[in-house]
Structure 1
Amino acid sequence: MDTFLALIVGIGLSAACGFRVFVPLLGMGLASLSGLLTLSPGFEWIGSWPAVVAFTFATILEIAAYYIPWLDNFMDSATTPAAVIAGIIATASVLTDISPFLRWSIAIIAGGGTAGIIQTGTTFLRGASSLASGGITNVLVSTGELIGSALTTALAILIPIVCFFLVGALCIVIIRGLVASRRAKRGPND
């Protein structure tokens, strides 16, 4: 896989980590086992059966936790740094033919940044849902995040260029929403 394509795959997988931490790692493990994804040296463990089993259990627990009304908001706080770290790992693990310094630099900036933007957007969406409905509609947000993570993972591995443009558009929407929210809180004279 050439470096540019690997970067696009990594960014897509990082975005999926912003929705759910373990769904993309599970997808990466399964894709590696089936030969659809080549992992960087040192990251082959992601495609091992023990890792896939661990990611499967972690995915089930993460999904279940987001459907418990009070726990979902706590999970957003706890998983924000985990999503960024998972995004960094996801990107670094697919960048195969570059120096370690460049691999980690790109992974931290592009992978961690993308995962952080998506996670921040979903955190704000869940917060707005909690305020508007007292948490009743959070189950819809959780379902959307799960679908988003699974779909983004599949697209990143199978059709990375489409995933890249969708993730880019979503990041722009989230950033614009955050900027507009910040401006609204400051008021017209600030």
Structure 2
Amino acid sequence: MLLGVSLSAASGFRIFVPPLVMSIAAQAGHLELAPGFGWMATQPALMMFAAATVLEVGAYYIPWLDELLDVIASPVAVVAGILATASVTGEMSPLLQWSLAILAGGTAAGLVQGTTDVVRLTSTIATGGVANPAVSTVELVSSTGLTLLAIALPLLTGILVISLLVYAGTRLRGVLRRRA
């Protein structure tokens, strides 16, 4: 479960980086996917995730397009987080698997995505978008690093991610209250 939450949080930074790394790790035998998710370890899925990752990462370096992507990415990141958690939960009843994926994975991805939206909007307002490529780079490195760390050290990463999510949720709530 901690692996799923960590991968979901990484999906909040970049939607397609975690599935790409998961596909590579599953093909290399470093990640066991839940029943029904074996397709993620196929060559066509790997190529699709690679192409989607390149397009997503590149688009975030185009100043006006990055803000548009944030609008689209928010709900998609939640879905990606749900799928990331469901894909690694192992053998359990489908009701429990999907309930945990929705509650834990969707929430983790949504909190991270919401936090990145606030950071990007703040960057756009403060710098006119000049600093947004730096923000994009930090998000890419965070997503990649978190995904790799989650696969290598799921227990440690999960505890770290949950702690950071609680902190980020508290901060995000404070920012939203001030804006209201």
1:115 paired residue number: 109
1:46 paired residue number: 40
Q: Is 2:64 the counterpart of 1:70?
A: yes
Question: Could you tell me how far apart the structure 1 residues matched to 2:46 and 2:126 are?
Answer: 38
Amino acid at match of 2:146: T
Q: Is 2:75 the counterpart of 1:81?
A: yes
Question: Could you tell me how far apart the structure 2 residues matched to 1:155 and 1:61 are?
Answer: 24
Alpha-carbon shift at residue 110 of structure 1 (Å): 0.3
Give the CA RMSD over aligned residues. 1.0
User: Unaligned regions of 5+ residues in structure 1, if any?
Assistant: 1-6
Larger gyration radius, structure 1 or structure 2: 1
Count of aligned pairs:
180
Question: Could you tell me how far apart the structure 1 residues matched to 2:136 and 2:166 are?
Answer: 21
1:172 paired residue number: 166
Aligned to 2:90, which of 76, 91, 96? 96
Runs of 4+, deviation exceeding 6 Å: none
1:3 paired residue number: none
Q: Is 2:2 the counterpart of 1:8?
A: yes
- Residue 45 and residue 136 in structure 1: after superposition, are their counterparts in 2 closer, same or farther (change >3 A)? same
User: Unaligned regions of 5+ residues in structure 2, if any?
Assistant: none
Question: Could you tell me how far apart the structure 2 residues matched to 1:75 and 1:65 are?
Answer: 8
Give the TM-score of the pair, scaled to structure 1: 0.92
Alpha-carbon shift at residue 166 of structure 1 (Å): 2.3
Amino acid at match of 1:141: V
Deviations 1:65-92 (A, max 9, x none): 0000000011111111111111101100
Residue pairs, 1:25-36, within 5 angstroms: 25-36=19-30
Aligned to 1:141, which of 118, 121, 135? 135
Alpha-carbon shift at residue 140 of structure 1 (Å): 1.0
Question: Could you tell me how far apart the structure 2 residues matched to 1:182 and 1:92 are?
Answer: 30
Deviations 1:18-49 (A, max 9, x none): 00000000011001000011111111001111
Give the TM-score of the pair, scaled to structure 2: 0.97
Overall identity of the aligned pairs, in %: 47
